[in-house]
Structure 1
């Protein structure tokens, strides 16, 4: 047992230890440098006043802390930061803003925003939000220890508009005095930058809107103390569009040093929106795969994706940086339509640098309406993700190209959110408003050159912190070999350490080196300590590291947790037992435990907090629990002995096979050292009710394989595990047969329709019982497939067929049938037998009878021609027979014969002769179409063709005005009408026939009765006509320009009357007349009153329209022309040039222009 518990301690140490890639540096720290870069403001649409940007610094911490935010002369009092909340500080624009006119492309002192944790307080995380009217941006801010000595700019291509204010920038801020930098431009040229003091800034902004992606900045390797210098870098755009025109937004992100780049990135889409990716390489020949597509990038080179809507996964063989961009509002939705928001850039963290917890802010400044968090993590761990301590109820979507990772999109309303999970995740916080947006990484474990671990000598595990009262050693992991290393703990003396590191090979083949400092130090009090490590490297030309470096690593001494749990002491075997954790972390901040290891004493373990466990055997078991937490310590082992009662061995006896609807017997065969069984639960596997009998019987209703389960209990209350057995239930055969229709003279043949459930007949055997009590026993049964038997006596018999399949399952079907007698008395009656006509059905009524059974069939004939067969006829039923067609006017005698059957060999005939009178044979020839105004005429195109003398004949229908066929088209009206000719013979046989007649419409004509024409004038006759394919004829033709058109022009020298005939294409005509009167001269009115009263408002010249070329001029008394008209379609209304003429006398001249004299006179205008 001691050996096994030692194994458990080793397992726990592995369970709690950090992987070789664990990091000390994250986005949490104690000192930060931020900047407020140039910003292109939006302008008020009404006033044109720009909305100048503001900057706000957000601070959050997992443990309560305190910070000061300062910039230049702005130096307010420290701000308390409660645990897991967000506080913010607004930095004055005047102190921090880098002006795009006066401050770019030069070193500017004191513009860096400095965030400093008060000494003695805990680390914090910092975020920055720049916001203005409709242009926002945000970024995660890195602590000083995460800063690097080189950066690559990440921007986006500016559109080619002429906006001078839309430019890309790269801002550099010093973390140390005398920071000397070299900027490597994309054309290969360089220029130096000197930042004299910490907090000095340099904003590089080319004048030509150059895309700065790939521009490289490093600390000048020739500058003094360059190895101990760090600086921060920020990149972005003052404003730009992405994807389409319409609106702009700035880009702003703090850059990660290449050591913090990665090789694997998961990308979740922005909520309901498209996005673009950009991948940037640090080294030549970098192989990148995006969703399975391969690309090769060189140093400073980048790839920009198309617009994407689904999640993506990126892998590379060397470190790369990845940025995600949202689009301009007008085209940002997944369908390319408008959706609120504007361009934004966020630098993503690789999945290898994930976090397990973070507190983030989600700003609602300025006019941000919707705020989201994208979370990406391993699919297997999504159930552990929580927001503010609550398990997330959102949908997780697998990444299509890498389903091992899933993402979710959470819409939130709180400014502050606390995210946690049992495994690492990457998160992006972002927000959208009308034409504005922001986005930033929600936290990361950043790559660094080194990391520091404390080795617990008791548990042999590595952690970031030491444990109270337990011996500890130290180690540091470096990516290179050193020539010398020294260690200093707190205020102790500096000691040189051994140079025999353990070599660690990563999954990508890269090497790291673990240097140990074995001192067996035991800490007796809680508190914070630090180790200072100094190294020297061989002078191998690797740059500044050959001069040595110093690393300061703070760590804490944590108390041991206390393991405790609750469980029932006495339990049943094979039953789930609940173990409840009662352990405490003993940390001052009451941080909860997150690691548990249970040993249940039966060679099984669990890492759940509150596990459930089943013991498979009886006896006492010693349960052990040890607990711990990330970055914390492992507890001592808590032990407790529980007792498991004797095991129950449930067993059952059941047949292997059975049949549907056949009862099956089951038997209990269980045993236990605890005594006999006292209860039973049988589940027969078919959904039926549970049986509590010890030895039940059961009937299955469907075929199939069923699992029978038995659970038993003993008197001590313990329950067995289920005992199970399978039973195969076979289908019954499907039994059916057809009954014959027989009489006493027939042999009854029964047709077998039986089959297996699969419609085959293989393996079936049969047994027939004919139910004939008068037959010998041997003759009353059969094993043939199809049975046959002759019944000697008529009556009702029950026939039974039993079929048995290859599985021994049988089924029987019984049917009753009738054996009919042989004494048949056929009989029938003919309706109206003395008035039968050849054009009407002959109706007969069955009157046949039989001594026993029933008549099964009637067959009817007329003159030996079969007319009708009736199966299973009803007594007294009526039937109709078709008579032969008449071919002469004479009556004929026909024979109606009936055959009545009670079986195939039992039949009786009956014949009766009747007289059949011929029906008239009528013909109605077609009638030619007629016009509506045609005269009444007689129709005589219908006749009888057999020569049968008429008793009566007549015509009827629309337009028929007498029975002898006179037709009036006007009474019938326009259209096609059906006429009927009816004919009856002396024998009462009647027939009728129909034919159609079409009455054609007349054309319509509208013609004025009188027309007036000035002497020497002409006019077109105003006539209107309608109809199809019309023709026209005017009489006389004298004075007309044409006599075959509807509207000829007339010119006469005396009064004349004209007649017009209009004819349709079908020959239907109508006429009309018009009288043309000749007027000798124009009768011009000598006054008119254009006052708007509707009377004499214009100067009327009657019939002047008959002078089509007439010229009318009106002059005032000064000889000035105030009206002139060629033709007089618009009469003079007393206005000139849109103004009313004054009352007075005017003069006119009318020129007919047809050889007639001018007409002159005076005209008085009154109002």
Structure 2
């Protein structure tokens, strides 16, 4: 807490600086021991030095037949673990030159006396608790076990065992002479109290007493101080309106030990006042202002400057917009209220249908069509309020349903929308077909490019612009995806395994003709053929979808190797490669080609491989080449052939 004289500017300085400088040093107190005056109204009782004491006594006695309400600021130092010993507010009749060191805190052995003691050291012999505490004692007795302990000890701060926290704390002593009640508060919280006839029971019938502060240190120490209260403070009703054009009431609730003799208000807009309760002040325009108050007491001390921010708010300009209102469809109302100065703290909505809201951007859903009055009242934290009313129309929402038919691949799927609210005129129907495609119209058809399950959806828009809810329909497009197999060759009477590929289950198969087949009604029959054959396979799904594919089978006498005598690798698409046709051959041991000098230029173990007339990527010249081939037939017999082939270029 800053207790130095503030630097006053402008009118503050002109009003208060005309006091003689020595007024700040005058004091109504007698100082003893280590006590020193720090500022006009503040005193150091002990420095942070061991085995010292200090007392400060007011020169003038007071009468306990009169009530008093004293405010002080106290600071018990910054050393918690090894700080000592504390301070006390003391009433006594013996004089102004008293005081003791250490745990006595300037109070011990003064008889008669009353002390309100803030003790920061645990002296077990006196029954001290292990926390910083406050108590009311009489007759210089600091023991908490004695009958002279009238109240306490309790923690000096509510809920906190440490008051040696470097901070200033408000220390209030209130005496009610009529009820004989003394109350002690710290930082606005009542800590201890006692109801006792102090004049009769403590001071032997003498109501005139000295008052002051005492403090002491022993083997441990702390900087311990007090100030006679000189606190400018507003008597301020925060519930009044702080709005443009409304006068603001400022009152003086300053706390001063002495009598406040002068004061200066600065309202932050260039105007001032010197009365305790100035007339209501009207600010010329909204804005942020800083109200200041400085007071002076009868000892010539000038307070610090009280500073109170005040916002004079402008009135809100309420406004809002909303999307089209349709029955059953919640919409967000967009609040567009503006405010130049201040903050909106409250929104009050009335939607004209019995519903209200306090949200800034509320949701609203109307169940019935019609004309409604929507009202908004906006109120700022300064209490400034303004409203707006708009007449809005609520339109009917159309109702629809959707249906669709399953289909086979390649067949159009038919979709139909049904109008469930014929009295609501519609402008358009919108389909989403579930595969990224859209169409418009109440009845549509669409050919899906692939089989599968699709979730299509439909919504409509009325001529008023209201969207219906979305109706969904699931359709299945069946694709058997039939493949009868690759065209192939086979040796006469060699078993040929057919193996058709399909999607789905519950399928019916029919191979036609049934020539040479072990079972024409399954996907994978065996075929035994004597001549070339073309098979047609028809597959029918459980949904009735039909797909047809064909398979060509070339039949050779075999097993045998059929090898051409010449080829022309000129990339004209005709006879560009040299390869063996091998009906009845189940495995190839080798197929090799040599040039005229016996160099191998081609070799393979694959029945389907072919030679393109090159060797290591280089085209071979025209001429005659020798080949040899060897394999095993489907019955397991080994056989081979050899011959020549001519490259023609």
TM-score, structure 2 as length reference: 0.38
Q: Which has the higher contact order (CA 8 A, sep 6+)?
A: 2
TM-score, structure 1 as length reference: 0.24
